Structure formats: C-alpha cells, structure tokens
C-alpha cells in the first residue's frame, strides 16, 4: 500500500513538539491557529538533522522517500516553502532558484516567490490519530498566511489508493453514487427530469467476460428501453482508435474483440462491469463516423444521451484513447514512531493532488480582474487534465447528472450537489464554476442562488430591468459565462464550433431565450453582441463558420468582461423579421450556412491605421485617435482594400455615466463580396450591408461628436 516506513526516535520525537511557537507580534488572539509560512534552505537540513532537529529529520525522511532517494539535499539552488497551521495538513513546495535572503517565519503574507516550482508535497495524519507535531494534522483546509486572502475549506485527509482497480477503490465509487442517489435532493430532481432511455446504439459489455462484447442496436424512436448506461467522455487525440464505419458496423454488431479497443475503452469496460452497468455509449463507436446523415442525427442526440446517462465516465487525465482511465498512482509514504509511553504514531507524505480546475484552491492573486475561465489556474495545471481543454467534452460535463473523473492522481466524483475526491480536499465542494449552469439544465433556476459563476461572483444578480426578471438575467449571464469558457477550449475542426455546443444549446433553450442565432439568443441579442476577443489573434485568414457578429467568427477565446450588463441603455433596435441564420442541416442548434441581423442606429465613418500590431481608430478632421485594442481579425484589417471603417453606437452604462465618453460601439466594414454571396437575395440587394470587425468600449461619442456627424440608418450585418 505504501513505501517502507521510516522511524523516529521515540523520546526525541515526543519532546520535539510543535515547530517554534508563533511570536507575539504576529497579531491575532488565537495565534495558535494562525497559518504560517517559512522558507527552508535545503542544504541546511542535513546539518540541523545531525544536531538533533526532529522536525528537519521528518522533512528529510519524507522528501527522501517521496523522491525515491533522487533528491540531493546539498544542491545549493534548492529550498522549501512550507505552510502550516495547527490541525491542518502541512504543505511544502520544492523550489529551484536563488534562495531567499530571509528565512524568517511569517504569518502576514510576503515570503519568497522567485524560482521554479519543482513539486508540491503534503504531510498529513489520519483523522483522530495522534501526532507529536500539532502543525501536522488531517484537515485539508488551506489557511493562507496572507490574512487578506480567504481560506479554502476542505474535508479530512484520506489515503489515495495506489491501485484504482482494487476493491476498495470501486467500493469508494459505489459509496459516492449511493450517497448521491439516497441523499441529494438536487440530483434526485435532476435525474427525474432526464430521459434515461437507452440510445440507439450502445456497447453491450455482457455480464462478466470479454468474449461477447458487441454493439447493441434498436430503434430508439419506437422502442424505449430504460436500462442504465454509462456515457464515456474522452479525448480523441491524434492517434487513431477504433471507430464504427459503414464497412465495420455490422461486424461490431456481432463482436468487438477486447484487444481491439483503445486503452481508454478497455478501462471503460472494466469500470462499467465493476459498477454493474451493462451498457456503455462511446461516440466513436456508437455513431457511424463516415455517414454524414447518421453523424448529424446521432450527434444531435448528445444532449439527451449525456443527460440520461446513469454516470458519465470521464477520462480526464488522458490526451487520447491510448491514455486510459485506470492510472497507477504514486504511493504515499509513511514515517512511524512511538511516544515515550509506547503509543505508536504514523505520519504520511504524498505529492499534492491539484484541484484548481474544479474550483478549489485556485490562486487568488491570479484571478483578480481575469476573464480566464479557470481563474487562478496555471496553464501546466490545466494540461494535467487534457479533457478539460477540449470543446466537445465541455458540454458533456455540463449535461451530466453524475461524473466520475479519472485523473492521473485520483478519482473525483462530480454531481449536481457537490464534489468528492480521494485525497479529502473536495468534500461536499459546491464552488465549481459549472455548478450553476448544470443545475439550470436539470432543475431550472431554483437551486442556483448563492453558487458561483466562473468570474467568482455570486449568482445573485441585481434587480431586473423593466420587462425582465431575475431568472432572465441569470439565464443569459450564465450563458455568456459558459461561452467564455467554451470559446477557449481546443477543437480540431473549427467547423465543429456550433455542433460541439449544440447539445448545451438544446438544453439551454426555453421561454427565456427565443431563437438560437449562431451561438446568441434572440431575446438578449443586444447584450450577446458585445463580446470581444480575449486571446491573441492567430494572424491567419479565418474560415467562415458563422456571421461576423457571432463570437464563433473569431476562432479564439472571447469575453464579455468581468462585469454584468444589467444597467445598460441601447441606441439600436433589431428587426427580428429580417434576422436569421439559415442552417446547414436539420439541427436547429447546429452549423449554419450564413447569417444576418438587421439593426437600426446611428453610424459614423472612421478610418484606421496600423503600426506594427497596434491598430488606431481615427475620425477624419479630428486630431484625437483611439487605440483599437482587440480587433476581431488583424489579418482582415491588413487585407482591406482601403482604410474605411464605420462605428455603430451600440450602448452605454447608465450606472457609471459621467462627463467622459462612456459608450460602446460596433466597428464595421463594408461587406465582403464573397461573404455577401452566401446571403439571401434580399440581403444581397440591400444598400447598407456590413460585417463586424470589432467592438470597442469607451467610444468617444462626445470627443468625436458622434451625434452631429453620424447618420441614422437601417443596415444588415452579416
């Protein structure tokens, strides 16, 4: 179960007690429960061990075991940052770089930040177990030394089972599922609203052997079979794995040899069988991949498939089908000893299992003012969970009632009510940023008050405007939250941009939304139009997948900013009878052939200039120019035949209105002839047809005298 135990001299361990007591100048009354941070220069540790420091002996012993003896404690560039709090798990970071000048202990923030983080470890005890060090405990709470930062509430430390195929591992999963089914009101209601009907095709794994695995097919339109099934969420990756084609489907209906499955599929069979669930839905096998009609029909059912699954099995730690789910985990290590009276104790060490992608223990400093969908999460940490980076998998997680994540470090159970994990950090954790949206999909708006959106804001919006409701605002602001996250996911085929979110749109559509228009909703279209790019322009020619006013058109991450839009006044009107997005297929939430919106407002001619990668907006006859920070496509601007643009004044924020320019505008250009040809005849023949090339805030309505020099007109944007 774990590495061989080390031993600490009983008397010395018992008398070592706590690390040095906190000095009186540190402040708070309950100083014994404050969080402290100390930096330790690693080459100093062997010497202090030789002089009898049992705290240093413990650190050295655990680090040696965790690194399998590969750590050179005499390396002059290595040091430790240690954070401890009475009763909590002790956490330490191994850092390479110039050591800090000051190794004093502190409890008010600060400390060493230079250097490269090599690894993070934690030292812990089991709940209720004795320990000579009060600063090594079993609480997984994160109490930050900087008192201005909030604590992160965790559960109690638990061992991570090194073998995920062990009986104890599957017993834990079964316990999570049983607790969810028996005690979670939200999940019970959510499941009741789902349709657990067996999909048209599923993989029948049989009762207990791998000999008879095959694809079971039935007519799901006329024959409703309500058997439980597991839906797999996985990254396809670049390696080719088993798929169904028109040539192989009949063969797979008879038998699929187990050894033909990719590792992830094999593991899915093992897990499903252990959980007593006979049927598994895997997209690459249950949809005929070279049959366009079958793909469109079955892909349109993804919302109901993931919605109705008994469990969604997520290969969260795998980049492709060869990665699998059942990763062997690094074992925890043990250091044991006895108190003077002979009572034994054990202290454990392990690498830290990270949870920031699930909304726990994110970096508070990294989230300030950020529009990143996983605020406070490092890029390397996100890529430890490849599934979390994929666009297709985003909606699969949103649509599920229960998800079992297999990461490289542990299992995580994720339902509508809360999250649980093996290490104990996530215990009844509800602050995952997707929780509000998942609850809306399953149970409407009744269970989302007080939950958090990705921006870290409580979903308690301000008083609604006339004609709106609190529910209306929640629904649309959360949709925009989701699109910010979705837009930053990776997708192999950009033309899948709309299909990959169609399942989510299917479930989001209701009386509050109106028509779905290439990723935007009719009833809040003016707010939806105010997106802007939030990632670097690729500099290449974008492939057409949507009208220019849709966020999909820029092929990269977008944002609506970190503030909501309840108080805005608009200066344009929409003619919805002259607004549409003709579909490419039959799915009303799928790909589009074209799109156009008809707006009436005041438009003013502008020019622009480019200096390197910087774009400037200029008004002829006016010396003041404005930086155009986030154009939709720098490539498009560079390749225009002239430098003529147009600004359509869109909105203002009444709550912050002042003497300075405080408006927002759409930046437009005359429509491209090739794109114009995609539109219906009435659009092609209309005089005023434009395309969007950007959105700007702090538009200089007064400085550029927009009211005087603009003219009101009706126009199509395509």
**Per-position DSSP letters for 474-518, written without gaps between them:** HHHHHHHHHHHHHHTSB-S-GGGTTHHHHHHHHHH-STTT-SEET
Domain membership flag for residue 366: no
Confidence of residue 428 (pLDDT cuts 50, 70, 90): very high
Range of the domain at 211: 167-327+382-443
pLDDT in tens, 184-207: 999 999 998 887 899 999 999 998
Average pLDDT across the chain, whole number:
86
Secondary structure of the chain: what % helix, strand, coil (to 5)? Answer: 25, 25, 50
Share of the chain above pLDDT 70, in %: 86
41 within 8 A of 97, measured Cβ to Cβ:
no
Task: Name the least confident of 116-125, 536-545, 587-596, 708-717.
Answer: 536-545
> 374 in a domain, yes or no?
no
Can you tell me the distance from the alpha carbon of 195 to that of 138, in angstroms, rounded to the nearest whole number? Answer: 41
What are the angstrom distances between the C-alpha of 642 and each of 99, 269, 352, 606, 628?
Answer: 56, 60, 56, 11, 17
The answer on 569 and 501 residing in a single domain is: yes
- Overall size of the chain counted in residues: 718
What is the C-alpha separation between 628 and 164, in angstroms, rounded? Answer: 52
Residue 108 scores a pLDDT above 50: no
In a domain, 534, yes or no: yes
With a CB cutoff of 8 Å and minimum separation 6, the contacts of 300 are 502, 506, 586, 587, 589, 590
Residue 193 falls inside a structural domain: yes
Classify the C-alpha dihedral 308-233-326-203 as positive or negative.
positive
Task: Examine residue 459 and state whether it is found in any structural domain, yes or no.
Answer: no
Whether 153 and 239 map to the same domain: the answer is no
| Three-state SS annotation for 305-318 | HHHHCCEEEECCCC
Do 395 and 501 lie in a common domain? no
251 and 212 both lie in a single domain: yes
Is the pLDDT score of 585 beyond 50? yes
Is 617 in the same domain as 489?
A: yes
- Of 275, 273, 276, 299, nearest in space to 286 by CA: 299
Residue 54, pLDDT > 70, answer yes
Among candidate residues 373, 377, 354, 353, the one with its CA nearest the CA of residue 364: 377
Strands (E), 548-613: 558-559, 568-570, 573-580, 596-611
CA 312 to CA 315: how far, in whole Å?
A: 10
Alpha helices in 375-510 (DSSP H): 379-382, 391-399, 435-443, 470-487, 499-508
Report the alpha-carbon distance of residue 428 to residue 413 in Å, rounded.
10
Cβ atoms of 610 and 635 within 8 Å: the answer is no
Least confident of 99-103, 249-253, 380-384, 640-644: 99-103
Question: What pLDDT digit, counting tens, does each position of 350-409 carry?
Answer: 999 999 889 887 765 544 333 344 444 555 666 789 999 999 999 999 999 999 999 999
* The last residue of a domain, from among 443, 458, 479: 443
Distance from first CA to last CA of the chain, Å, rounded? Answer: 62
DSSP count for the chain of H helices, then E strands: 21, 29
Query: Coil, strand, or helix at residue 123?
Result: strand
Q: Say how far apart CA 689 and CA 668 lie, in whole Å.
A: 10
Chain Cα centroid distance, residue 675: 34
On whether both 638 and 557 belong to a single domain, the answer is yes
524, 613: one domain: yes
Contact 478, 437 (CB under 8 A): yes
Task: Tell me the C-alpha distance between 570 and 32, whole Å.
Answer: 56
Report the Cα 441 to chain-centroid distance in Å.
Answer: 17
Residues 419-428 have a mean pLDDT of 96
CB crowding 121-138: b at 16 or more within 10 Å, else e: bbbbbeeeeebbbbbbbb
Q: Are residues 206 and 142 in the same domain?
A: no
Residue 92 bridge partners (DSSP): 82, 121
Q: Which tens digits make up the pLDDT trace of 463-502?
A: 444 556 889 999 999 999 999 999 999 998 889 999 999 9
Q: How far is residue 216's CA from residue 230's CA, in Å, rounded to a whole number?
A: 14
- Structural domain total, the chain: 3
Give CA separation, 34 vs 135, 250, 358, 626, 685, in Å: 10, 66, 26, 50, 72
Structural tokens at position 160: 């991570």
Same domain flag for 437 and 546: no
Structural domain contains residue 115: yes
Burial class of residue 105 in the structure, from the number of CB atoms within 10 Å of its CB (0-12 exposed, 13-18 middle, 19+ buried): middle
Q: How confident is the model at residue 451 (pLDDT cuts 50, 70, 90)?
A: low
Count of alpha carbons within 13 angstroms of residue 667, beta-carbon side: 31
| DSSP conformation class of 263 | H
Give which of 610, 624, 596 is closest to 681, Cα–Cα. 596
- The closest alpha carbon to 555, from 505, 516, 593, 519, belongs to 519
Quickly state the pLDDT bin for 623 (edges 50, 70, 90).
Answer: confident
* Calpha distance 219→200 (Å, rounded): 6
Question: What pLDDT is stored for residue 655 in this prediction?
Answer: 64
Q: Which of 33-42, 256-265, 417-426 has the lowest mean pLDDT?
A: 33-42
Across the chain, which distance is largest between two alpha carbons, in Å? 95
Q: Do 152 and 185 share a domain, yes or no? A: no
Q: What is the pLDDT of residue 464?
A: 46
Dist CA 405 CA 410 (whole Å):
8
Token representation of residue 74: 């005499």
Q: How many CA atoms lie within 13 A of 485 on its CB side?
A: 28
> Residue 336: beta bridge partners?
7, 346
Residue whose tokens read 């980076």:
389
Predicted confidence at residue 603, as pLDDT, reads: 97
d(CA 354, CA 592): 40
CA distance 324 to 266: 8
> CA 38 to CA 451: how far, in whole Å?
35
Tokens of 149: 């930062």
**Do residues 274 and 133 both lie within one domain?**
no
Give the SS3 label for residue 8.
strand
* pLDDT tens figures, 255-305: 999 999 999 999 999 999 999 999 999 999 999 999 999 998 998 899 999
Check residue 290 and give its pLDDT: 94
Report whether 253 contacts 214 (CB < 8 A).
yes
Say if residue 452's pLDDT is above 60. Answer: no
| Radius of gyration from C-alpha coordinates of the chain | 29
Residues 283 and 148 in one domain: no
Residue 1 lies in a domain: no
The strand pairing partners of 596, in sequence order, are 580
Give the residue from 331, 541, 359 showing the smallest Cα distance to 433.
359
CA angle 352, 187, 430 (to 5 degrees): 35
């Amino acid at each position: 179960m774990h590495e061989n135990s080390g031993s600490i001299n009983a008397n010395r361990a018992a008398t070592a007690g706590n690390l040095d007591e906190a000095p009186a100048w540190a402040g708070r009354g309950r100083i014994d429960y404050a969080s402290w941070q100390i930096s330790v220069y690693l080459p100093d540790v062997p010497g202090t061990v030789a002089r009898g420091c049992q705290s240093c002996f413990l650190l050295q012993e655990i680090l040696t075991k965790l690194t399998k003896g590969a750590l050179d404690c005499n390396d002059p560039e290595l040091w430790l940052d240690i954070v401890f709090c009475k009763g909590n798990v002790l956490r330490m970071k191994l850092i390479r770089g110039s050591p800090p000048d000051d190794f004093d202990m502190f409890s008010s923030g600060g400390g060493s930040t230079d250097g490269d983080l090599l690894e993070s470890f934690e030292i812990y005890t089991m709940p209720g177990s004795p320990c000579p060090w009060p600063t090594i405990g079993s609480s997984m709470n994160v109490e930050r030394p900087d008192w201005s930062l909030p604590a992160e509430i965790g559960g109690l430390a638990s061992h991570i089972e090194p073998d995920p195929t062990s009986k104890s591992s599957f017993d834990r999963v079964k316990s999570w599922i049983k607790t969810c089914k028996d005690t979670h009101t939200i999940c019970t209601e959510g499941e009741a609203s789902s349709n657990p009907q067996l999909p048209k095709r599923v993989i029948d794994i049989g009762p207990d052997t791998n000999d008879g695995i095959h694809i079971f097919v039935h007519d799901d339109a006329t024959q409703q079979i309500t058997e439980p099934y597991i839906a797999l969420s996985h990254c396809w990756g670049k390696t080719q794995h088993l798929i169904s084609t028109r040539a192989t489907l009949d063969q797979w209906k008879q038998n699929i040899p187990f050894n033909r499955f990719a590792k992830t599929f094999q593991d899915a069979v093992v897990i499903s069988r252990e959980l007593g669930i006979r049927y598994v839905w895997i997209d690459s096998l249950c949809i005929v991949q070279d049959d366009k009609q079958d793909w469109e029909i079955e892909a349109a059912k993804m919302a109901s498939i993931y919605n109705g699954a008994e469990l969604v099995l997520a290969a969260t730690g795998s980049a492709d089908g060869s990665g699998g789910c059942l990763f062997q985990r690094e074992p925890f290590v043990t250091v044991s000893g006895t108190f003077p009276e002979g009572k034994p104790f054990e202290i454990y060490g392990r690498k830290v299992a990270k949870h920031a992608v699930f909304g726990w223990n994110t970096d508070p400093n990294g989230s300030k003012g950020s529009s990143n969908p996983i605020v406070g999460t490092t890029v390397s940490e996100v890529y430890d969970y490849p599934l979390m980076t994929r666009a297709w998998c985003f909606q699969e997680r949103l649509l599920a009632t229960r998800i079992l994540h297999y990461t490289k470090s542990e299992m995580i159970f994720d339902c509508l009510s809360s999250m649980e994990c093996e290490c104990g950090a996530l215990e009844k954790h509800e602050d995952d940023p997707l929780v509000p949206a998942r609850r809306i999909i399953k149970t409407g708006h009744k269970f989302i008050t007080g939950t958090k959106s990705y921006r870290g804001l409580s979903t308690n919006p301000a008083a609604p405007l006339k004609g709106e409701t609190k529910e209306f605002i929640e629904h649309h602001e959360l949709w925009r939250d989701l699109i910010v996250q979705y837009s930053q996911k990776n997708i192999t085929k950009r033309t899948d941009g709309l299909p990959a979110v169609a399942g989510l749109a299917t479930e989001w559509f209701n009386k509050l939304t109106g028509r779905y228009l290439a990723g935007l909703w009719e009833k809040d279209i003016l707010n939806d139009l105010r997106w802007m790019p939030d990632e670097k322009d690729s500099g290449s020619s974008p492939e057409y997948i949507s009208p220019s006013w849709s966020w999909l058109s820029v092929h990269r991450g977008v944002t609506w900013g970190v503030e909501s839009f309840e108080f805005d006044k608009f200066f344009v009107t929409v003619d919805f009878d002259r607004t549409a997005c003709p579909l490419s297929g039959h799915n009303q939430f799928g790909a589009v052939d074209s799109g156009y919106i008809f707006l009436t407002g005041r438009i003013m001619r502008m020019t622009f200039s480019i200096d390197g990668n910087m774009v400037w907006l200029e008004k002829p006859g006016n010396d003041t120019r404005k930086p155009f920070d986030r154009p939709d496509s720098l490539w498009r601007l560079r390749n225009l035949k002239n430098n003529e643009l147009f600004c359509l004044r869109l909105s203002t924020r009444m709550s912050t209105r002042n003497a300075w320019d405080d408006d927002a505008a759409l930046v437009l250009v005359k429509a491209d002839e090739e794109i114009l040809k995609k539109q219906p005849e009435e659009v092609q023949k209309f005089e005023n047809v434009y395309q969007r090339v950007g959105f700007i805030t702090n538009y200089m309505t007064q400085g550029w005298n927009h009211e005087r020099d603009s003219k009101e007109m009706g126009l199509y944007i395509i």
